[in-house]
Amino acid sequence: MGDPGDKSTGGLGDGDGSWTLLTGHGHVLVEIARNPEARIRDLSAAAGITERTVQAIVTDLEAAGYITRTRTGRRTRYTVNPDSLFRHSAQGSHRVGPFLALMTAAGDDDPARSGPEDEPSLG
């Protein structure tokens, strides 16, 4: 059992850092909400997963209606659908918008992640 004072997991779990609270899909969706013009490589670096995995996740998120993609020249801009519901039955009655608003606001404390033009595009 992990040390209750271990900050890597908030005192929960085994403390080895082998898991995170959000899935890859959750991380990518939060990063898209933070930066709707992010490139796949930017999303990959922020989420800590491969570009190939991010591309598959973006395809999943779009197919499920969580995001839409708009191409402008060679760039892609994402728009998050804040009215989408969580997929798990335990949270299925909750919309993702408030969660994303909370998670994107949390990034505002880190000057490296935010700026005045970094308002999330939540559709």
pLDDT, tens digit (0-9, with 9 covering 90-100), for 3-36: 444 444 455 555 667 788 889 999 999 999 999 9
Residue 115 is predicted with a pLDDT of 44
Q: Going along the chain, which residue ranges are E strands?
A: 67-72, 75-80
Asked if the model's pLDDT at residue 120 lies above 90, the reply is no
Residue 93 is predicted with a pLDDT of 85
- 10 vs 41 pLDDT, higher one: 41
Q: What is the mean pLDDT of residues 61-75?
A: 95
Residue 87 is predicted with a pLDDT of 87
User: Would you say 28 and 43 are in contact if contact means Cβ atoms under 8 Å apart?
Assistant: yes
Q: What percent of the chain has pLDDT over 90?
A: 59
Asked if the model's pLDDT at residue 99 lies above 60, the reply is yes
Residue 119 is predicted with a pLDDT of 47
Q: Residue 72: what are its φ and ψ, rounded to 5°?
A: -130, 100
The rounded distance, in Å, linking the Cα atoms of 105 and 12 is 24
- 1 vs 38 pLDDT, higher one: 38
Residue 108 is predicted with a pLDDT of 59
pTM given for the model: 0.73
**Could you tell me if residue 13 is left (phi over 0), alpha (psi between -120 and 50 degrees) or otherwise beta?**
left
How many CB atoms are closer than 10 A to CB 78? 23
Residue 63 is predicted with a pLDDT of 96
Q: Residue 97: what are its φ and ψ, rounded to 5°?
A: -55, -55
Longest dimension (CA), the chain: 52
